[in-house]
Protein backbone atom coordinates (compact mmCIF):
# COMPACT_ATOMS: atom_id res chain seq x y z
CA UNK A 1 0.00 0.00 0.00
CA UNK A 2 2.68 2.46 0.93
CA UNK A 3 4.58 1.77 -2.27
CA UNK A 4 1.38 2.01 -4.28
CA UNK A 5 0.53 5.24 -2.57
CA UNK A 6 4.01 6.65 -3.29
CA UNK A 7 3.76 5.60 -6.94
CA UNK A 8 0.35 7.21 -7.25
CA UNK A 9 1.68 10.36 -5.59
CA UNK A 10 4.64 10.46 -7.97
CA UNK A 11 2.36 9.90 -10.96
CA UNK A 12 0.07 12.64 -9.72
CA UNK A 13 3.01 15.01 -9.30
CA UNK A 14 4.27 14.19 -12.80
CA UNK A 15 0.82 14.68 -14.27
CA UNK A 16 0.49 18.02 -12.49
CA UNK A 17 3.91 19.07 -13.79
CA UNK A 18 2.93 18.02 -17.31
CA UNK A 19 -0.35 19.91 -17.03
CA UNK A 20 1.49 22.99 -15.76
CA UNK A 21 3.90 22.76 -18.71
CA UNK A 22 1.00 22.43 -21.15
CA UNK A 23 -0.77 25.38 -19.51
CA UNK A 24 2.38 27.49 -19.71
CA UNK A 25 2.82 26.55 -23.37
CA UNK A 26 -0.82 27.37 -24.07
CA UNK A 27 -0.41 30.70 -22.30
CA UNK A 28 2.64 31.53 -24.44
CA UNK A 29 0.73 30.58 -27.60
CA UNK A 30 -2.25 32.66 -26.51
CA UNK A 31 -0.04 35.68 -25.83
CA UNK A 32 1.65 35.26 -29.24
CA UNK A 33 -1.72 34.98 -30.98
CA UNK A 34 -2.97 38.07 -29.15
CA UNK A 35 0.17 39.99 -30.13
CA UNK A 36 -0.20 38.95 -33.77
CA UNK A 37 -3.90 39.85 -33.83
CA UNK A 38 -3.12 43.29 -32.40
CA UNK A 39 -0.35 43.76 -34.97
CA UNK A 40 -2.72 42.78 -37.82
CA UNK A 41 -5.37 45.19 -36.55
CA UNK A 42 -2.80 47.99 -36.34
CA UNK A 43 -1.64 47.27 -39.88
CA UNK A 44 -5.26 47.27 -41.10
CA UNK A 45 -5.81 50.70 -39.55
CA UNK A 46 -2.59 51.96 -41.11
CA UNK A 47 -3.69 50.62 -44.50
CA UNK A 48 -7.09 52.30 -44.14
CA UNK A 49 -5.39 55.60 -43.27
CA UNK A 50 -3.04 55.31 -46.25
CA UNK A 51 -5.89 54.45 -48.60
CA UNK A 52 -7.86 57.46 -47.42
CA UNK A 53 -4.77 59.65 -47.92
CA UNK A 54 -4.26 58.28 -51.46
CA UNK A 55 -7.90 59.03 -52.29
CA UNK A 56 -7.55 62.57 -50.95
CA UNK A 57 -4.36 63.14 -52.96
CA UNK A 58 -6.01 61.79 -56.14
CA UNK A 59 -8.95 64.13 -55.62
CA UNK A 60 -6.64 67.11 -55.03
CA UNK A 61 -4.61 66.15 -58.11
CA UNK A 62 -7.73 66.12 -60.31
CA UNK A 63 -8.79 69.48 -58.91
CA UNK A 64 -5.36 71.00 -59.61
CA UNK A 65 -5.30 69.59 -63.15
CA UNK A 66 -8.65 71.18 -63.83
CA UNK A 67 -7.49 74.51 -62.42
CA UNK A 68 -4.31 74.33 -64.52
CA UNK A 69 -6.36 73.76 -67.67
CA UNK A 70 -8.51 76.80 -66.89
CA UNK A 71 -5.44 78.93 -66.18
CA UNK A 72 -3.71 77.68 -69.33
CA UNK A 73 -6.72 78.59 -71.44
CA UNK A 74 -6.93 81.99 -69.74
CA UNK A 75 -3.24 82.68 -70.47
CA UNK A 76 -3.69 81.61 -74.10
CA UNK A 77 -6.64 83.97 -74.46
CA UNK A 78 -4.68 86.84 -72.93
CA UNK A 79 -1.73 86.20 -75.18
CA UNK A 80 -3.85 86.04 -78.33
CA UNK A 81 -5.62 89.27 -77.36
CA UNK A 82 -2.38 91.13 -76.66
CA UNK A 83 -0.46 92.75 -79.48
CA UNK A 84 2.82 92.03 -77.72
CA UNK A 85 2.40 88.32 -78.36
CA UNK A 86 1.04 88.62 -81.90
CA UNK A 87 3.30 87.08 -84.52
CA UNK A 88 4.24 89.51 -87.20
CA UNK A 89 5.89 88.69 -90.46
CA UNK A 90 8.16 91.74 -90.76
CA UNK A 91 10.12 90.36 -93.73
CA UNK A 92 7.07 90.13 -95.96
CA UNK A 93 5.92 93.63 -94.96
CA UNK A 94 9.29 95.17 -95.88
CA UNK A 95 9.27 93.69 -99.38
Q: What tens-digit pLDDT sequence spans the chain (95 residues)?
A: 554 555 565 667 767 777 788 888 989 999 999 999 999 999 999 999 999 999 999 999 999 999 999 999 999 999 888 877 666 555 555 54
Alpha-carbon span 32 to 24, nearest angstrom? 12
Q: What pLDDT does 84 receive?
A: 77
Q: What pLDDT does 95 receive?
A: 47
- What predicted TM-score, i.e. pTM, was given to this entire model? 0.54
Task: Find the radius of gyration of the CA atoms of the chain.
Answer: 40
Alpha-carbon span 30 to 23, nearest angstrom? 10
Alpha-carbon span 29 to 35, nearest angstrom? 10
Alpha-carbon span 91 to 39, nearest angstrom? 76
Amino acid sequence: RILSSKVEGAQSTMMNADMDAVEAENQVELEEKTRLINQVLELQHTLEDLSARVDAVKEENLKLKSENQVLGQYIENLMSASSVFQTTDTKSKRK
